[in-house]
Amino acid sequence: MSVFYYHNNQVIAPWATDAKKKTNWLLVGGAVAALIGLVWWGYTWWLNHNIELATVVVCVDTDGDGKCDNRRGSGVIISPRGYILTTRDMVMADNGKAPARKIEVIFESGEKSNHRLEATLTAIGQPGATATTPRNNYAVLQVSTKTDLKYVELLDKRTYQREEPVKSYGFPSADSAKSNDYGPQIKVLPGVLTSVNTSNDGGVTSLTQSSKLEEGMFGGPLIQGGKLAGINTRLGKPETVAIPMVLLLEDLKQYASAK
């Protein structure tokens, strides 16, 4: 049963009979509202931060018919001028001896606004990369756009430790991906570094992480702290081996942009 008080012929609720209590309720309500606002801001920042990592699907013509009907893997935009970083094997023809005759990238896959642009192969590493020395397994593509693209900054980090957190982004193959009428949707896999391979002088040569990538995600970015720490390769399957960005800073400086 509710109890009410009367004062000057007006009904007053019990929580309103004490000005101090009323003030306390207002303070509590304000704190709750502020907390809700902070949580919402954090969620929207996380959502936008992940979306703005700007990954793309790399599609190549592997049979020489002029059609990019083989969706090979993923890539990441490293410059507003349309430069995209992926792995060497993503852009090679099926025989592995030469680049594919036609390469396209798909932007905003999984969204109604998705679209394809033909890409030019701008740079490519030398053959012979391995799981322990993956440095040369990279390729740089460029697309022509009328507006600047969102991109990811390269991480200039020279030492890593096991158990450091990382995230992998990419577009799994259609048979295992969450897809819709607009193509495969991006997948994010959190993980940690399980192995840091180094050279005789102590420099990092490759990064192995705990996430098991699906086909289609290779060539996509390994992210740490919102920056591009590496490019995931299929060289060490079933382990996921990435090329540390520090090894490619010199090669990519004419293509990549710094924020």
Cβ atoms of 173 and 181 within 8 Å: the answer is no
Contacts of 61 (CB under 8 A, 6+ apart): 67, 68, 69, 70, 100, 101, 102, 103
* pLDDT averaged over every residue in the chain: 77
Binned at pLDDT 50, 70 and 90, residue 21 comes out as low
Write the class of the CATH domain 55-252. mainly beta
123: confidence class by pLDDT, cuts 50, 70, 90:
very high
CA pair distance 239, 233, nearest whole angstrom:
10
Please compute Rg for the chain using Cα positions.
25
pTM for the model: 0.75
- How sure is the predictor about 11, in pLDDT bands with cuts at 50, 70 and 90? very low
| pLDDT tens per residue, range 143-160 | 998 888 888 999 999 999
Residue 105, pLDDT > 90, answer no
Strand boundaries in the chain, DSSP class E: 5-7, 10-12, 55-61, 70-77, 83-86, 102-107, 115-124, 139-142, 165-170, 179-180, 183-184, 187-198, 204-209, 221-224, 227-233, 240-244
More confident residue, 6 or 35: 35
How far apart (Å, rounded) are the C-alpha atoms in residues 143 and 15?
Answer: 65
d(CA 144, CA 150): 14
Report the distance separating Cα 238 and Cα 125, nearest Å.
23
Has residue 36 got a pLDDT over 60?
Answer: yes
Q: What is the pLDDT of residue 130?
A: 87
Residue 151 tokens, joined: 């991109």
pLDDT at 8 over 90: no
Instruction: State mean pLDDT over 164-169.
Output: 94
Cα 147 from Cα 210, distance rounded (Å): 37
- What is residue 55's predicted lDDT score, i.e. its pLDDT? 73
Length of the chain: 259
Q: At a CB cut-off of 8 Å and minimum separation 6, what does 230 contact?
A: 207, 221, 222, 242, 243, 244, 245
The H or E element containing residue 49 is helix 19-51
pLDDT at 172: 81
How far apart are the C-alpha atoms of 178 and 70, rounded to whole Å?
18
Question: Positive or negative, the Cα torsion across 54, 231, 248, 92?
Answer: negative
Rounded mean pLDDT of 215-241?
89
Q: Kindly state the percentage of the chain with pLDDT values over 90.
A: 34
Residue 170: band (very low, low, confident or very high) from pLDDT cuts 50, 70, 90: confident
Beta carbons of 228 and 152 less than 8 angstroms apart: yes
Q: How confident is the model at residue 23 (pLDDT cuts 50, 70, 90)?
A: low
